[in-house]
Amino acid sequence: MRNFLLTTCLGAAAVFAAGGAFANDELLKLSQDAKQWVMPTGDYANTRYSKLNQINAGNVGKLQVAWTFSTGVLRGHEGGPLIVGDVMYVHGPFPNPVFALDLKNDGKILWKYEPKQDPNVIPVMCCDTVNRGVAYGDGKIFLHQADTTLVALDAKTGKVVWSAKNGDPGKGETGTSAPMVVKDKVLIGISGGEFGVRCHVTAYDLKTGKQAWRGYSMGPDSDVLIDPVKTTELGKPVGQNSSVKTWQGDQWKIGGGCTWGWLSFDPEQNAVFYGSGNPSTWNPKQRPGDNKWSMTVWSRDADTGMAKWVYQMTPHDEWDYDGVNEMILADQNIGGANRKTLVHFDRNGLAYTLDRTNGELLVAEKYDPKVNWTSGVDMNKQSPTYGRPKVIAQYSTEQNGEDVNSKNICPAALGTKDEQPAAYSPETGLFYVPTNHVCMDYEPFKVSYTAGQPYVGATLAMYPPQGETNMGNFIAWDAKTGKIVWSNKELFSVWSGALATAGGVVFYGTLEGYLKAVDAKTGKELYKFKTPSGIIGNVTTYEHGGRQYVAILSGIGGWAGIGLAAGLTDPKAGLGAVGGYAGLRDYTSLGGQLTVFALPQ
């Protein structure tokens, strides 16, 4: 009966979708106009590549600040602005103001929207009060508030068109991620993995805010929107109740698998892609089994939400290697064949190249040589453990047991990369990846679940790899072979989203506050500028009035900057004990500013 209903619902959704094709066409077309930047990811493929080349490797050294804007909010500023026509939309962390700025008039404020939210949401935001950006579509701006309200604003006036409640902050569910508009729907994930919530991606109708579909990361097939036969993993049907049977009892109900990373969309496949996060508590002993489908790459049908294929990267997580990082849809030539690939840099330190049409695993290699918890992924298709990472016993926090401090595990819980999105240049064929170069001590302990209370179950300390002082690298990656092409050391994690351009330049920000431009081929530093505060935002470019601009949000915070952002004076305090970043206080201070650069006129 459940399957019957499901099929019926899907049919209805498919019919409904046809009527929304316009929104998709408009947005698809806008996203192909290099002069604008109409979605937080730049394009549906999440390449963060721009065809603009007015600013190039030869002249980027002359870049200067064109104008600036303060958001009026301190703490971590993730994400970046949208540019739609003559208007720039700028967002901020809690209380989540949104500004529409007039590009024809030095950023004059056309409108400002600031929701009224219960400040009690702040304590249930695990890793600063961040927000990763707004989405545009159908003449509306979509904001996912900290309190999980998804609100649609009239892009011209800032007036609320509709709002929908995506979750319950009382249970620890919060909103930090950016929505993505796909055809006639707006899709959004949810945060709260450290509070034992069960996460999902949900699609809302663009015009009304009515829920169209919701796919959970774990639970019965009907909740997860999995078809036991048609949904595959590594080419095989996942079978019935593929999720529930990998959990003990009802643990899937508090199973995490959060969905706060960046979404991607492949119009040709009509598929959305994203990763699901850690299986809630960081104490692996407490949740036996593979904990599916946490830590998983997802491909879902954009209209129905039904899972096309899944791939669990880190079964039974023992390190909080949250699998939420973005999927970059960039075709690669693998072994002489052009493949429709998806490239993903996971928190677990492995970079995956998959066939995005079917989830076939093509490449899985470490993108930081210090990664030590695994010797790599079993690539033998005949092996019963095909596709699974081989865990080194010394770094297995499960095997070491509760209340045992496992030392020098690399990467640390915040991963070789976290939410900071990488970029891809079709010209060089390289991926540009902001990375963390951080290891940890990890001690799991027994924790009990109370709704709305932290459900972490591990203490940890984070620091650079032994004998090293740099906590970050900015690397160029060849996803065809799984090799680092060049690597630039950074003092702290590079927690800023990269931008690659047709000018042969790659941009990124640093936690000290520098915006940097490097040569896409060699990594040579061509330009740097000290913005008012540390950068955890993503670099954006656009053209207006015939002039190319580069924009970046400053505002130290996020997980790496939480010590400064939340005013923790004890470097060992806070989630994940970000003591290694204590030195940040010598470089920067809280802020919330947009800096816009251009060449001299």
Q: Can 147 be counted among the known catalytic residues? A: no
Report the nearest approach of a copy of itself to the CB of residue 149 (Å): 21
Whichever of 90 and 494 has its CB closer to a copy of itself, that residue is 90
- SS3 category, 255: coil
- Residues in the chain, total: 601
Instruction: Work out which of 29, 104, 108, 489 binds a copy of itself, going by CB under 8 A.
Output: 108
Instruction: Work out which of 42, 276, 554, 581 binds a copy of itself, going by CB under 8 A.
Output: 554
Whichever of 49 and 587 has its CB closer to a copy of itself, that residue is 587
Q: Tell me 415's DSSP state.
A: -
CA nearest neighbour of 170 among 117, 119, 124? 124
Please say whether the dihedral angle defined by the alpha carbons of residues 537, 80, 59 and 424, taken in this order, is positive or negative: positive
Report the nearest approach of a copy of itself to the CB of residue 530 (Å): 4
Find the part of the chain contacting a copy of itself (CB under 8 A) among 72-80, 135-143, 182-190, 375-383.
Answer: 72-80
Whichever of 338 and 601 has its CB closer to a copy of itself, that residue is 601
Find the part of the chain contacting a copy of itself (CB under 8 A) among 29-37, 60-68, 230-238, 429-437.
Answer: 60-68
Q: Is 67 in the site for a copy of itself (CB under 8 A)?
A: yes
Whichever of 82 and 535 has its CB closer to a copy of itself, that residue is 535
Residue 459 CB burial class (10 angstroms; 0-12, 13-18, ≥19): middle
State how far the Cα of 103 lies from the Cα of 122, in Å rounded to an integer. 33
Whichever of 473 and 533 has its CB closer to a copy of itself, that residue is 533
Q: Is 104 in the site for a copy of itself (CB under 8 A)?
A: no
Instruction: Work out which of 38, 57, 74, 324 binds a copy of itself, going by CB under 8 A.
Output: 74
Whichever of 27 and 101 has its CB closer to a copy of itself, that residue is 101
Whichever of 105 and 333 has its CB closer to a copy of itself, that residue is 105
Report the nearest approach of a copy of itself to the CB of residue 92 (Å): 9
Instruction: Work out which of 62, 245, 381, 483 binds a copy of itself, going by CB under 8 A.
Output: 62
State how far the Cα of 423 lies from the Cα of 431, in Å rounded to an integer. 6
Contact criterion met (CB below 8 Å) for 130 and 176 = yes
Residues 6+ apart with CB under 8 A from 178: 40, 41, 79, 131, 132, 133, 134, 135, 144, 262, 263
Q: Is 546 in the site for a copy of itself (CB under 8 A)?
A: no
Beta bridge partners of 87: 84, 102
Instruction: Work out which of 31, 41, 71, 420 binds a copy of itself, going by CB under 8 A.
Output: 71
Contact criterion met (CB below 8 Å) for 50 and 551 = no
State how far the Cα of 529 lies from the Cα of 509, in Å rounded to an integer. 9
Whichever of 91 and 356 has its CB closer to a copy of itself, that residue is 91
Whichever of 497 and 513 has its CB closer to a copy of itself, that residue is 513
Beta 430-436 vs 423-425: how paired, if at all? antiparallel
Whichever of 152 and 553 has its CB closer to a copy of itself, that residue is 553
Binding-residue pattern over the window 570 to 599 for a copy of itself, x denoting contact by CB under 8 A: ---------------xxxxxxxxxxx----
Report the nearest approach of a copy of itself to the CB of residue 520 (Å): 25
Q: Is 107 in the site for a copy of itself (CB under 8 A)?
A: yes
Contact criterion met (CB below 8 Å) for 96 and 115 = yes
Instruction: Work out which of 249, 335, 384, 600 binds a copy of itself, going by CB under 8 A.
Output: 600
State how far the Cα of 528 lies from the Cα of 63, in Å rounded to an integer. 9
- CA-to-CA dists, residue 599 to 61, 238, 475, 540, angstroms: 9, 53, 26, 15
3-state helix, strand, coil in the chain (%, to 5): 15, 35, 50
Contact criterion met (CB below 8 Å) for 480 and 332 = yes
Q: Is 106 in the site for a copy of itself (CB under 8 A)?
A: yes
State how far the Cα of 516 lies from the Cα of 526, in Å rounded to an integer. 8
Sites for a copy of itself among residues 181-220 (CB under 8 A): none
Q: Is 457 in the site for a copy of itself (CB under 8 A)?
A: no
Report the nearest approach of a copy of itself to the CB of residue 539 (Å): 16
- The active-site residue, picked from 320, 346, 368, 478, is 320
Q: Which two tokens stand for residue 348?
A: 């677990």
Contact criterion met (CB below 8 Å) for 288 and 262 = no
Q: Is 385 in the site for a copy of itself (CB under 8 A)?
A: no
Query: Residue 465, Cβ neighbours under 10 Å: how many?
Result: 20
State how far the Cα of 402 lies from the Cα of 283, in Å rounded to an integer. 7
Query: Residue 483, Cβ neighbours under 10 Å: how many?
Result: 13
Sites for a copy of itself among residues 481-540 (CB under 8 A): 529-533
Find the part of the chain contacting a copy of itself (CB under 8 A) among 34-42, 105-113, 304-312, 470-478.
Answer: 105-113
The size of the interface with a copy of itself (CB under 8 A), counted in residues, is 36
Q: Is 65 in the site for a copy of itself (CB under 8 A)?
A: yes
Instruction: Work out which of 37, 94, 99, 431 binds a copy of itself, going by CB under 8 A.
Output: 99
Find the part of the chain contacting a copy of itself (CB under 8 A) among 28-36, 66-74, 125-133, 218-226.
Answer: 66-74
Start-to-end Cα distance in the chain: 68
- CA-to-CA dists, residue 357 to 235, 243, 313, 349, angstroms: 11, 22, 17, 24
Report the nearest approach of a copy of itself to the CB of residue 380 (Å): 51
DSSP, residue by residue, 344-412: EE-TTSEEEEEETTT--EEEEEESSTT--SEEEE---TTSTTTT-EEE-GGG-HHHH-TT--EEEESS-
Report the nearest approach of a copy of itself to the CB of residue 31 (Å): 28
Apex 342 CA angle, 367 and 292, nearest 5 = 85
Report the nearest approach of a copy of itself to the CB of residue 376 (Å): 40
Instruction: Provide the annotated active-site residues.
Output: 320
Q: Which residues bind a copy of itself (CB under 8 A)?
A: 62, 64-65, 67-74, 97, 99, 106-109, 112, 529-533, 554, 585-595, 600
